[in-house]
């Protein structure tokens, strides 16, 4: 278990992939007895979350063949692989993702094509959203990055005016993407997760807690 004291009001506990590491953050003046009692009271929840992570790790990896399910914007779509000559590409149909790729390409090659398409789709969605929030908040984002991250949905460098978002967000509902974006933008005004930060969130996105809960049902978040 990793334990730290931070300038926060409430004690927090999280379970992080890939090995189910337990991290506890406590207010600076909270007694060790209170922290210990809290962790003990959450043992059942901790074990369930660690079991969920272990179960996901044991699942057979996708081979990216026809019939497998891929998520896109919160929808479960059946993958349809079409082996054909020409330039590889992906199309989103009503209930399927169609992956066109030359014959003989292995899983890694198929994944590169799919992730490249996911990345373009996510960036296209973000450009309009970022522009709208820049205008509303009177700020400017100097750089927007997309990366694959293990334990966070997003990160922010307020000084450089740079935001980095997890590629996996393209698989989640658009409202979850909007929540993570606003979360990182609010860090331009308040770097800590304190009352001021949450006040901004409440004002800008009143339902943000619902979106966070929906997102965190499947993985750890910032």
Q: Where are the domains of the chain?
A: 2-58, 69-216
Coil, helix or strand at residue 199: helix
Domain 69-216 sits in CATH at 3.30.2010.10
Q: What are phi and psi of 96, to 5 degrees?
A: -145, 155
Q: Mean pLDDT highest for which of 94-98, 138-142, 151-155? A: 138-142
- The average pLDDT across 116-141 equals 96
Find out whether the peptide bond into 31 is cis, omega within 30 degrees of 0. Answer: no
* Tens digit of each residue's pLDDT (9 = 90 or more) over 78-107: 999 999 999 999 999 988 999 999 999 999
- The average pLDDT across 5-11 equals 89
Of 94, 130, 101, which Cα lies nearest the Cα of 116? Answer: 101
Tokens of 176: 């979850």
pTM, entire model: 0.72
pLDDT value, residue 221? 36
* Tens digit of each residue's pLDDT (9 = 90 or more) over 46-67: 888 777 766 555 455 678 999 9
Cα 52 to Cα 15, 56, 58, 169, 205, distances in angstroms: 10, 6, 10, 20, 30
Coil, helix or strand at residue 155: strand
């Amino acid at each position: 278990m990793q334990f730290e004291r931070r300038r926060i009001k409430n004690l927090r506990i999280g379970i992080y992939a890939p090995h189910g590491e337990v991290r506890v953050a406590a207010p600076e003046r909270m007694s060790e007895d209170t922290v210990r009692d809290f962790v003990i009271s959450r043992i059942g929840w901790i074990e369930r979350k660690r079991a969920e992570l272990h179960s996901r790790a044991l699942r057979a990896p996708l081979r990216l063949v026809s019939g497998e399910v891929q998520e896109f914007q919160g929808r479960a779509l059946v993958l349809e692989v079409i082996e054909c000559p020409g330039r590889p590409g992906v199309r989103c149909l009503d209930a399927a993702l169609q992956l066109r790729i030359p014959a003989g390409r292995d899983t890694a090659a198929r994944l590169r094509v799919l992730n490249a398409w996911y990345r373009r789709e996510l960036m296209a969605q973000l450009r309009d959203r970022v522009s709208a929030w820049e205008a509303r908040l009177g700020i400017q984002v100097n750089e927007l990055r997309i990366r694959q991250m293990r334990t966070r949905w997003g990160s922010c460098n307020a000084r450089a005016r740079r935001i980095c978002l997890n590629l996996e967000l393209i698989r989640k509902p658009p409202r979850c993407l909007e929540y993570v974006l606003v979360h990182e933008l609010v860090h331009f005004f308040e770097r800590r997760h304190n009352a001021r930060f949450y006040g901004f969130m409440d004002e800008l996105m009143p339902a943000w807690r619902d979106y966070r809960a929906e997102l965190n049902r499947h993985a750890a978040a910032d």
